[in-house]
């Protein structure tokens, strides 16, 4: 099995960037800067969802399936280092990367923020210049599978058919989201609850991986027995952790629902 890397990001408003772009006085609080940006966006679009380049990455979680191993981890802290380490992993493993709406959100944010921080990622951007195989299957093309955006593919590239990860995961029998969603991340960050954000991001990548396994079963890349073993591997790895979010995740994922 080729290495498979599932990823997800959680973001907050780029307060420093907003201060610079709109020449906001230093006396204005971070919360006020963010609210100003949200209000400007609402007036323009009816939604307070900021443009991709104005999102700052607070956490990036990954799940790597390689050889006999499955592991989950989160990168947080300095944004430039988060992004560089993510792309360093792609440089090292050349994995298939899998996301839920990664083409619509996560990767564009990583592109813009990586550009701002001077990140280097030649393997990711290769479209056949260095490796001829990448001409026909690269990370950039929407229709290639080195990056598989499961949401986009399952909707047949039709936005009106997109499904929320939380709802689809729960319909299949997986835990889905547990106590937090993306709309709550900024408030949690302001309250210093970064670990909760990281935990939430990790559960998202595991939900995504489980949906990916079900997709591989559907398309005949896994037999039912192989699918069962993959799910049991995930369960066994999570069961070794005493972390609260994994205890809650496993409690919401009865063995009968594998």
Task: Quote the mean pLDDT of the chain.
Answer: 96
In whole angstroms, how far apart are CA 119 and each of 77, 89, 91, 124? 16, 13, 12, 12
- pLDDT at residue 116 above 80? yes
How far apart, in whole angstroms, are the C-alpha atoms of residue 236 and residue 252?
A: 15
Tell me the DSSP string of 121-145.
-HHHH-SSSS-THHHHS-SS-TT-S
Q: Give me the pLDDT at residue 19, please.
A: 97
CA–CA dist 197, 188 (Å, integer): 7
Residue with the two structure tokens 């944004």: 79
pTM over 0.85: yes
Residue 1 has pLDDT above 90, yes or no: no
Write down all domains in the chain, each with its CATH number in brackets: 4-257 (3.30.420.10)
Q: What is the pLDDT of residue 74?
A: 98
- 3-class secondary-structure state, position 2: coil
pLDDT for the residue numbered 17:
97
């Amino acid at each position: 099995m080729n290495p498979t890397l599932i990823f997800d990001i959680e973001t907050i408003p780029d307060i420093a960037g907003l201060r610079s772009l709109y020449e906001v006085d230093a006396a204005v609080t971070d919360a006020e800067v963010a609210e100003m940006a949200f209000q400007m966006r609402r007036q323009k679009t009816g939604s307070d969802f900021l443009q991709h380049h104005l999102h700052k990455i607070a956490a990036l979680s990954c799940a790597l399936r390689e050889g006999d191993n499955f592991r989950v981890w989160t990168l947080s802290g300095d944004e430039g280092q988060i992004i560089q380490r993510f792309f360093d992993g792609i440089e090292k493993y050349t994995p298939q990367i899998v996301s839920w709406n990664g083409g619509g959100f996560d990767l564009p944010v990583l592109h813009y923020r990586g550009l701002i921080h001077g990140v280097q990622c030649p393997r990711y951007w290769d479209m056949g210049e260095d490796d001829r195989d990448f001409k026909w299957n690269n990370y950039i093309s929407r229709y290639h599978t080195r990056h598989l955006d499961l949401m986009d593919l399952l909707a047949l590239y039709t936005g009106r058919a997109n499904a929320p990860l939380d709802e689809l995961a729960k319909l299949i029998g997986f835990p889905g989201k547990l106590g937090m969603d993306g709309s709550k991340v900024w408030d949690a960050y302001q309250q210093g609850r970064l670990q909760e954000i990281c935990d939430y991001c990790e559960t998202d990548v595991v939900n995504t991986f489980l949906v990916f396994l079900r997709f591989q079963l559907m398309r005949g890349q896994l037999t039912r027995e192989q699918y069962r073993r993959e799910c049991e591997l995930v369960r066994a790895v999570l069961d070794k952790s005493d972390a609260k979010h994994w205890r809650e995740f496993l409690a919401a994922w009865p063995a009968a629902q594998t």
